[in-house]
Amino acid sequence: MEITVEQKDRYTLVTLRGRIVSGEAPAVSAKLRAEMAQLHYRFVIDMANATFVSATFLRLIIAV
């Protein structure tokens, strides 16, 4: 999985590419929490180029 984070005018764009499984959730969660620590609270999570997304991963990310 590849993660990129970009600041836009009104939100933070988090792009996820590749195969996304539950083991990847801690890395994504850490990125989101790092952005929240900088007072960025609006996120768009782009998974258009994900080849697979596990249900467990989605559940863990929603919990953030």
Work out the mean pLDDT of the chain and round it to a whole number: 91
Show Cβ contacts of residue 37 under 8 Å, excluding neighbours closer than 6 positions: none
Share of the chain above pLDDT 90, in %: 64
Supply the pTM of this predicted model.
0.83
Band the pLDDT of 59: cuts 50, 70, 90: confident
pLDDT of residue 27: 87
- Whole-angstrom CA distances from 1 to 19, 28, 45, 52, 53 are 6, 10, 14, 10, 10
Q: How many structural domains are present in the chain?
A: 1
pLDDT higher than 80, residue 19: yes
- Domain that residue 12 falls in: 2-62
CATH number (domain holding residue 51): 3.30.750.24
